[in-house]
């Protein structure tokens, strides 16, 4: 105890007397360089994709489809140092190309942007930067490379570069054809340089067909961006098309900030005009001199050594504390730029005290309430978790990861609340409710989901699962894909939600055994046996959903005649073996569908529910098949059987649902250990 007090005293003494010699820590300059692209440190949103080290922002979906996509550097970049009141300058270089197989349908272009959040804009003439219904909601600084004349945004022509700040009406534009003979939509590789110097309040854009930077800028704007560059900003690219098949490719990217300088210690030099009084030496004996020399030698060696040890201890403690503060600030920065913290009082008021009349959904992991926010006039969905978490820090850490997910087919997380022992999540409200509700409850009342919507739901769900499995920095395994967790927006586009069971995994790591969780009827056989969740277990659940959508039947149903339990997968596979697979189509569609599409979707569903996980396709392959970019996978006429080398097979359908029970919908499994 005395030693601790002594150490504390020494550290306090050193800090109070020598802290003025330690440099203050300020925001750091940062840089990154992608000569070619991988999924590491990047997030692909919307329709963007990675192929052979090149990022495509939009897809060839055929006229008159519209598409939108973006790529964002995963981590927020510091642009403002609060301690020093300094805004960073930045410089970026990238190479891009814009091409189209149909030159008459060009539009709309791409943009490099800096934004305080990671939101993705609408398809159409919005460059993926803003939403069609809320043109001024998104905040950004962007340099656009526009290939369409849009009078709504005061475009000068269909080949221009412009600076946009919070609006698609450019502050200033330039025509690269007039000033450099460059056509943005030539299909040729174009290199762009964008430089912003904060001390000069000037932004410059250079363009060239070569890798050599021109002497003169194409676009020069005198502007002070310090009011627009927040403490943390995300950087990336976005693009969109409007009824065209324009393709936007980014081949390489380099970015850096500069201008932050640490404050150096102020050390005053010795003033040579100072006078020093010299006194005559006092004579002492030789023995005394020797003793003093030994003592002086001991202090001369031991003193600095002890001082160095103390400094190392102090430095270790300081660095550890600084790293903790930095981690906390980083976490807060990620949360600030994404979902916001709601107060419990605010959510309680919006849900009428979590009144039963506001309940719009109830599951094993929480109850969902409809929330009206009077001040903003908005409506959201608030999920009230039934399970406690280990702690607020762990919850926020997991939340910050889920909050970074951005895809047009995901239910967007808007905020969170951890108060009064409750965990509350706020999501955007989906007016059409769940696919389960539309497909069954409303269909039974004579309002079936039309075939084009069903096929689009299958494509949208495949797209978002491709994003979760292959395009995120860490692979996300959802583990609970089912029709009740798929929401439908006003246009009946699918939105995957409920990440209560989701798990994160590095792309090169093997899955580990966990507690089996999910909903019976959607669980892959190997997951039930071994408890190992992988991307292929998600593929199985997707296949079940596809069969539900095409057949209009639940995964496990009781026959009206005979009361026998029927497994949807076995039923469809039986019809396929008899060459009658199209007869599995939902009878309520009254044959109002394209038979080729129906056959394709049913075969995709069967390929995804193959008992052998190694035979199931990846979600990216499924997406290619549904987009007519790949051939349908061959499915055996007879459903293969699967035997496990050890252990036991879980309960049969008859064991799961006893004969005396009424069966309406598959129930969630409890957390039970298997294997």
Annotated binding site for ATP: 383
Cα–Cα distance between 250 and 255 in angstroms, integer?
Answer: 14
Residues 6+ apart with CB under 8 A from 301: none
DSSP symbols for 183-207: -TTSSS-EEEEEEEETTTTEEEEEE
Residues 6+ apart with CB under 8 A from 133: 122
User: What residue numbers does the annotated binding site cover?
Assistant: 383
238, 228, 18, 23: which is closest to 118 by C-alpha? 238
- The residue assigned the tokens 């814009």 is 98
Cα–Cα distance between 358 and 252 in angstroms, integer?
Answer: 50
On whether the CB atoms of residues 252 and 30 are closer than 8 A, the answer is: no
Terminal Cα distance for the chain, rounded: 51
Cα–Cα distance between 393 and 93 in angstroms, integer?
Answer: 38
On whether the CB atoms of residues 546 and 465 are closer than 8 A, the answer is: no
On whether the CB atoms of residues 36 and 251 are closer than 8 A, the answer is: yes
Beta carbons within 10 angstroms of residue 669's beta carbon: 20
Element (H, E) at 477: strand 475-477
Cα–Cα distance between 433 and 442 in angstroms, integer?
Answer: 11
On whether the CB atoms of residues 99 and 185 are closer than 8 A, the answer is: yes
Angle, in degrees to the nearest 10, between helices 595-608 and 619-626 = 170
Helix (H/G/I), strand (E/B), else coil: 503: strand
On whether the CB atoms of residues 127 and 240 are closer than 8 A, the answer is: yes
The structure tokens listed for 654 are 């008859």
In angstroms, the Cα distances linking 73 to 31, 238, 517 are 11, 12, 33
Q: Which residues pair with 44 in a beta bridge?
A: 71
The structure tokens listed for 81 are 């140092």
Q: Which residues pair with 68 in a beta bridge?
A: 240
**Burial class, 213, CB count within 10 angstroms (exposed 0-12 / middle 13-18 / buried 19+):** middle
On whether the CB atoms of residues 584 and 474 are closer than 8 A, the answer is: no
The structure tokens listed for 546 are 């596809």
Cα–Cα distance between 39 and 49 in angstroms, integer?
Answer: 10
- The residue assigned the tokens 């394209």 is 594
DSSP state of 50: E
What phi and psi, each to the nearest 5 degrees, are found at residue 362? -150, 125
Q: Which residues pair with 161 in a beta bridge?
A: 145, 174
Q: Where are the beta strands (DSSP E) in 316-377?
A: 340-341, 359-362, 366-373
78, 84, 85, 73: which is closest to 29 by C-alpha? 78
- ∠ CA 56-58-63, nearest 5°, is 140
Which residue is catalytic, options 81, 155, 195, 480?
A: 480
Asked if 480 is an active-site residue, the reply is yes
The residues annotated with a catalytic role in the active site are: 480
């Amino acid at each position: 105890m005395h030693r601790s007090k002594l150490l504390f005293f020494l550290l306090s003494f050193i800090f109070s007397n020598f802290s003025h010699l330690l440099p203050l820590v300020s925001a750091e300059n940062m840089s990154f360089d992608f000569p070619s692209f991988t999924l590491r440190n990047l997030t692909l949103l919307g329709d963007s994709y990675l192929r052979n080290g090149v990022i495509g922002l939009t897809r060839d979906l055929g006229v008159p489809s519209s598409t939108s996509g973006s790529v964002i550097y995963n981590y927020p970049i510091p642009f403002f140092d609060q301690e020093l009141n300094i805004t960073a300058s930045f410089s970026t270089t990238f190479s891009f190309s814009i091409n189209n197989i149909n030159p008459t349908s060009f539009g709309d272009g791409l943009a490099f942007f800096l934004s305080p959040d990671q939101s993705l804009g609408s398809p159409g003439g919005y460059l993926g930067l803003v939403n069609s219904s809320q043109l001024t909601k998104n905040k950004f600084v962007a340099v656009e490379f526009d290939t369409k004349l849009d009078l709504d945004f005061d475009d000068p022509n269909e080949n221009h570069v412009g600076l946009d700040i919070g609006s698609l009406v450019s502050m200033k534009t330039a025509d690269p054809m007039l000033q450099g003979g460059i056509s943005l939509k030539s299909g040729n590789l174009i290199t762009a340089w964008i430089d912003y110097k904060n001390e000069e309040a000037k932004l410059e854009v250079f363009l060239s067909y070569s890798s050599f930077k021109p002497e003169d800028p194409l676009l020069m704007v005198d502007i002070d961006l310090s009011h627009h560059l927040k403490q943390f900003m995300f950087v990336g690219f976005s693009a969109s098309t409007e009824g065209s098949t324009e393709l936007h490719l980014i081949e390489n990217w380099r970015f850096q900030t500069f201008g932050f300088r640490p404050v150096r210690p102020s050390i005053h030099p010795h003033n040579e005009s100072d006078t020093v009084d010299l006194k005559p030496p006092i004579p002492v004996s030789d023995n005394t001199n020797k003793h003093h020399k030994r003592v002086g030698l001991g202090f001369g060696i031991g003193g600095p050594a002890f001082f160095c040890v103390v400094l190392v201890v102090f430095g270790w403690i300081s660095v550890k504390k600084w790293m903790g503060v930095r981690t906390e600030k980083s976490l807060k920065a990620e949360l600030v730029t994404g979902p916001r913290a709601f107060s419990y009082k605010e959510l309680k008021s919006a849900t009428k005290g979590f009144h039963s009349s506001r309940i719009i959904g109830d599951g094993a992991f929480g109850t969902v309430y409809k929330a009206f926010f009077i001040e903003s006039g908005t409506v959201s969905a608030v999920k009230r978790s039934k399970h406690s978490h280990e702690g607020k820090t762990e919850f926020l850490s997991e939340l910050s990861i889920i909050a970074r997910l951005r895809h047009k087919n995901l239910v967007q997380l808007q905020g969170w609340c951890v108060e009064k022992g409750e965990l509350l999540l706020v999501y955007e409200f989906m007016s059409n409710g769940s696919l389960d509700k539309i497909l069954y409850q409303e269909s039974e009342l004579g309002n079936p989901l039309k075939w084009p919507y069903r096929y689009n739901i299958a494509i949208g769900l495949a797209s978002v699962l491709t994003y979760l499995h292959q395009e995120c920095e860490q692979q996300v395994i959802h583990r609970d894909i089912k029709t009740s967790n798929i929401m439908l927006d006003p246009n009946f586009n699918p939105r995957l939600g409920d990440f209560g069971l989701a798990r994160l995994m590095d792309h090169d790591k093997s899955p580990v055994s966990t507690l089996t969780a999910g909903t019976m009827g959607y669980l892959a056989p190997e997951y039930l046996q071994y408890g190992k969740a992988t991307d292929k277990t998600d593929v199985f659940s997707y296949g079940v959903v596809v069969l539900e959508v095409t057949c209009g039947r639940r995964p496990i149903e009781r026959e009206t005649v005979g009361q026998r339990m029927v497994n949807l997968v076995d039923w469809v596979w039986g019809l396929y073996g008899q060459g009658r697979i199209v007869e599995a189509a939902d009878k309520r569609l009254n044959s109002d569908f394209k038979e080729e599409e129906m056959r394709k979707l049913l075969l995709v569903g069967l390929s995804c529910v193959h008992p052998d996980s190694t035979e199931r396709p990846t979600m990216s392959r499924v997406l290619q098949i549904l987009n007519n970019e790949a051939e349908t996978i061959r499915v055996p006429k007879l459903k293969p059987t699967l035997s496990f080398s050890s252990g036991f097979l879980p309960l049969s359908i008859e064991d799961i649902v006893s004969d005396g029970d009424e069966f309406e919908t598959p129930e969630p499994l409890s957390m039970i250990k298997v294997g």
